[in-house]
Amino acid sequence: MNFIKNVYADESALHLAAAEAIVALACHCVAATGRFNIALAGGNTPRQTYALLAVAPLVRRMPWAQTRVYFSDERHVPLEHPDSNYHMALEAMLKRVSLRSEQIFTIPTEHDDVAACAEWYNDLLHVRFQRRTDRFPPFDLVMAGVGPDGHIASIFPGTPAVTEKQLWVTSCDPLSTNPKVVPPVKRITITPPVIQNAGHVFVMATGAEKAQAMAGVFASAEPLRPPVARLLRRCNGTVTFFLDAKAVR
């Protein structure tokens, strides 16, 4: 377990630090291997970080030509829908930077069957990373948000996604265990072993409603009801947290 816990007094400092850390890691990976494979997080929290990557000075320092963009999770809505994680990243960053469409690998959502969407992305990752099925893709960076219920990416508590050990991508229905999930749609998500195999994981969480889940991740003793995000403790790579003071107690 290699945790780096950064806590910021205000959100603008948090987003600037996260954006600078992405650029630094991308430059390091490109210098070492010639490429940077990132899986973007959805939700609202990373929006401002993405926006900073699309403007000066960071937009000029980011090695866009060597960057391949994937997604950690997606909502089962059309990609042009405002609730789509891709749509959020597109508006905040992707459409403003020098990325060709061949460098962006969206999670498909057009199939009515969410499991088929997950299978398609699972197959795409296998083709892209050319690994045997008993191994997991070596993302340079997986970005992931955490929910108040302790979910990470779209691995929601009580769903089979939590215990998935073979697949790289799966689907889940968060409403099966929590009818109050917003937006109330099924999800497609990378699985725990994919997060745990990444070189780096950046976790962004702000606000008091995330504090209980974060405390469960950091607790040295196993909490009575461990949050799903506690799977971060079994990451092979470095997990860097970007938290505001309210998310820490």
CB of 138 to ligand 6PG, least distance (A): 22
Near ligand 6PG by CB under 6 A: residue from 25, 29, 45, 105: 45
Compute the CA torsion angle 11, 206, 161, 186 (nearest 10 deg).
-80
- Which of residues 23 and 75 has its CB atom nearest to ligand 6PG in the complex? 75
158-187: which residues touch ligand 6PG (CB under 6 A)?
187
- DSSP symbol at 205: E
Sheet holding 187-190: strands in order across? 73-75, 187-190, 169-172
Strands (E) across the chain are located at: 2-8, 36-40, 67-71, 73-75, 141-145, 169-172, 187-190, 200-205, 238-244
153 touching ligand 6PG, by CB under 6 A: yes
78-107: which residues touch ligand 6PG (CB under 6 A)?
85
Size of the site for ligand 6PG (CB under 6 A): 14
- Which of residues 43 and 137 has its CB atom nearest to ligand 6PG in the complex? 43
CB of 210 to ligand 6PG, least distance (A): 7
15 touching ligand 6PG, by CB under 6 A: no
Residue 57: is the preceding peptide bond cis (ω within 30°)? yes
Helices and strands (H and E) in the chain: how many: 7, 9
Distance, in Å, from the CA atom of 110 to the CA atom of 120, rounded to the nearest integer, reads 11
- Which of residues 145 and 199 has its CB atom nearest to ligand 6PG in the complex? 145
Per-residue contact string for residues 182-201; x = within reach of ligand 6PG by CB under 6 A:
-----x--------------
73 touching ligand 6PG, by CB under 6 A: yes
Closest CB to ligand 6PG: residue number: 145
Near ligand 6PG by CB under 6 A: residue from 109, 118, 137, 145: 145
**One-character DSSP codes across 6-31:** EEESSHHHHHHHHHHHHHHHHHHHHH
Classify burial at 190, counting beta carbons within 10 Å of its beta carbon; exposed 0-12, middle 13-18, buried 19 or more. buried
CB of 152 to ligand 6PG, least distance (A): 7
Near ligand 6PG by CB under 6 A: residue from 93, 114, 125, 147: 147
75 touching ligand 6PG, by CB under 6 A: yes
Q: Which residues bind ligand 6PG (CB under 6 A)?
A: 41-45, 73, 75, 85, 145, 147, 151, 153-154, 187
